[in-house]
Structure 1
């Protein structure tokens, strides 16, 4: 259909907010969901993964429908992770325009008292993780009797992480007249049974299968033994002009080991896993979003909710446990019309798992040969030359002219320049395994 945001029935205030954010036209999930939520009174089950625009699909109708003059909590959005709770609340806040809506992210790992004070002052939309939401319900600091909307975001991940019992307890504390909106990348029987129990009538909205894994992602794999994975990772990063990506590992220990090795070799990298304190996690994510680091090594759980549109790469340092996780991982690149690359390191005894992922996820993952050492050296030389050429063109070097002339006079141009390159770039031309 390719409707515009205006044709979906959104207000002028919201249209201005969308224009300010640079949103040109609705995604498929937005086009299908927004009219149902604006015009009807049925519940919605939406099949859509991270990166399809699902936050705006439910967030925009909430902005339109919620009464800013009331102090009651009118919408509750449940997310599986703290990071996703923060990102969803920030996204909705950025879309509210001139409307005076108060949106509060609520999650563990933070003192509960400031959250209680904010809830007492009045909040329209609460976005939170099941555990902390239950804490507030039991303390009496969060009353859900007057909510009009309950959103379950990434319901399959809440199921995988063991939160479904908490979700059902939260549902029992809400009024019967609310609308329930459930979004999930996959719809296993457990999720559909949950929908049947708590939704009187619902519309199923599904993004076409092929857009779930997106044709903008080039998917390749390298056959690599466990002992050679780190060398392979360095080669993959080094041959790219502007690598900006997520590296997925199976365990927290693997994440720490890989991140520490990268940092030791001079890469701008950091680690993200469940043992990291919340404030530190937020600092790491902020640095990654601002590209102060360009490599983030993470576990699946820690990476939930990372929503960045311009990642160039997703690296499966360890293959995921199932096809759904593979789809979740690679869906973090190739967004917003930009191409991305998903690379998997596969050991010889993992071919059966790879074949299963390809079959169930219906994806084409082609085998490639690792970049050669000569390719890596040439790429590094090219980067060094480009950096130097940029400085020469900018003429931002005048304070070093005198010392450079002294070095040339004493040692000759070739030796002086080579020594300076070694001093500045250190061991960047040294290759692992060379």
Structure 2
């Protein structure tokens, strides 16, 4: 396994002056640990596996070596980057464009849910880098619009998530038609058996850079749990929002139906509420992400579609309305917060039913941290009367202020 001391500058990693100059211009001052470990290995042309938690700068760790290694005299696709979701693909595409500012590298985003015509035209214009989801990549291969016979770099970003949602056969099919002499970079938050099996089959003696044990959940996130019966979750959610007054919050649900139901209940009374899940059309999902990034959405009801990779800096709170199905999903959800600034603290609250104590324990063992019980002013107030009263609230609105504090949502519960 590769180990590396974090250098002081990107130049120390072996990046050329033209690349370092771009990084200086966009404000990248020092490499993160995953960048310090992966970039030198990738620049040597070796297959490599980078394991690190969400929000550690994994994208730049593979974008920069590719940007430096592309042969701009060739009019073929030289790099393919596969991502599990459309949103993450778009984010990687945007970051690639930013990190290669002025280098005249052409990227094409190929994802489902969008017209295929513009994507085909982009490929015909001699794109250097293709970024997209496995399904659309296969579609373009079948249409003979995408030729990977000369590809030099293949990246599997969030590989564990791609396998989780059933892309194994698609990935194997894509890799089987790539050039035999290509470099493979696999980025993943976890390296379970399916990921290991994929690596053994398609990678040649890969070097490993494992930072997964370094701060599994960042120290700037305050984490709490709250025990609650299933039928009392909604009034608890209201009380947590009133108490916390988040600048921006994501409420995670296990199912699309649950997220949509909560949205329909809250949006009638609360402005700046939106939802994002797999049943929404791509343009609707794009709109939600845009509103989040621009600070126009204050509360988002979501499934784990935004739990992986999506970088939104303004999230102050995460509320796990449903405890996640896996420990790693918890890590990814909670990793959405605590990024407002270097000295800001994110807060995460997880609702746990009395039957889910074992699931909470597994999460605590995974992150090596005991979650604190969330402090409620009146923990014994969850009687049937309060559940009924919440439904009768007539004044349930916010007024945005300059400092983004959560003002009065409703006047009285009686």
Q: TM-score, normalised by structure 2?
A: 0.88
What is residue 195 of structure 1 aligned with on the other side?
A: 199
Per-residue CA distance 1:71-126 (angstroms, 9 max, x = gap): 21100000010000000010111110210001111110111111111101111110
What is residue 419 of structure 1 aligned with on the other side?
A: none
What is residue 393 of structure 1 aligned with on the other side?
A: none
1:106 aligns with 2:87: no
Give the Cα–Cα distance (whole angstroms) in 1 for the partners of residues 292 and 173 of structure 2. 36
Q: 1:250 to 1:208 in 2, by over 3 A?
A: closer
What is residue 362 of structure 1 aligned with on the other side?
A: 368
The answer as to whether partners of 1:30 and 1:57 remain within 8 angstroms in 2 is: yes
What is residue 34 of structure 2 aligned with on the other side?
A: 29
More helix by share: 1
Greater Cα offset, 362-371 or 58-67: 362-371
What is residue 319 of structure 2 aligned with on the other side?
A: 315
Give the Cα–Cα distance (whole angstroms) in 2 for the partners of residues 255 and 242 of structure 1. 19
Greater Cα offset, 194-203 or 170-179: 194-203
1:67 positional shift: 1.9
1:132-281 to structure 2, matched below 5 A, reads 132-281=136-285
Q: 1:264 to 1:206 in 2, by over 3 A?
A: same
Per-residue CA distance 1:376-424 (angstroms, 9 max, x = gap): xxxxxxx98x95999xxxxxxxxxxxxxxxxxxxxxxxxxxxxxxxxxx
Runs of 5+ in structure 1 lacking a partner? Answer: 374-382, 391-424
1:54-93 to structure 2, matched below 5 A, reads 54-93=58-97
Greater Cα offset, 230-239 or 242-251: 230-239
The answer as to whether partners of 2:84 and 2:157 remain within 8 angstroms in 1 is: yes
What is residue 57 of structure 2 aligned with on the other side?
A: 53
Q: CA RMSD in A?
A: 2.3
The SS at the match of 1:37 is helix
Q: 1:429 to 1:15 in 2, by over 3 A?
A: same
Q: 1:220 to 1:177 in 2, by over 3 A?
A: same
Task: Determine which structure has more spread, i.e. the larger CA radius of gyration.
Answer: 1
Give the Cα–Cα distance (whole angstroms) in 2 for the partners of residues 99 and 240 of structure 1. 45
What is residue 406 of structure 1 aligned with on the other side?
A: none
1:12 aligns with 2:17: yes
1:341 aligns with 2:322: no
The answer as to whether partners of 2:252 and 2:322 remain within 8 angstroms in 1 is: yes
The answer as to whether partners of 1:13 and 1:97 remain within 8 angstroms in 2 is: no
Q: 1:368 to 1:428 in 2, by over 3 A?
A: closer
Q: 1:166 to 1:303 in 2, by over 3 A?
A: same
Give the Cα–Cα distance (whole angstroms) in 2 for the partners of residues 272 and 158 of structure 1. 19
Give the Cα–Cα distance (whole angstroms) in 2 for the partners of residues 37 and 144 of structure 1. 20
Runs of 5+ in structure 2 lacking a partner? Answer: 380-397
The answer as to whether partners of 1:77 and 1:127 remain within 8 angstroms in 2 is: yes
The answer as to whether partners of 1:71 and 1:124 remain within 8 angstroms in 2 is: yes
Give the Cα–Cα distance (whole angstroms) in 2 for the partners of residues 224 and 242 of structure 1. 21
Give the Cα–Cα distance (whole angstroms) in 2 for the partners of residues 287 and 17 of structure 1. 28
Q: 1:241 to 1:256 in 2, by over 3 A?
A: closer
Give the Cα–Cα distance (whole angstroms) in 2 for the partners of residues 100 and 388 of structure 1. 40
The SS at the match of 1:140 is coil
Per-residue CA distance 1:139-197 (angstroms, 9 max, x = gap): 11000011110000011001110101100000000011100000111001121121111
What is residue 430 of structure 1 aligned with on the other side?
A: 411
Q: 1:387 to 1:123 in 2, by over 3 A?
A: closer
1:350 aligns with 2:356: yes
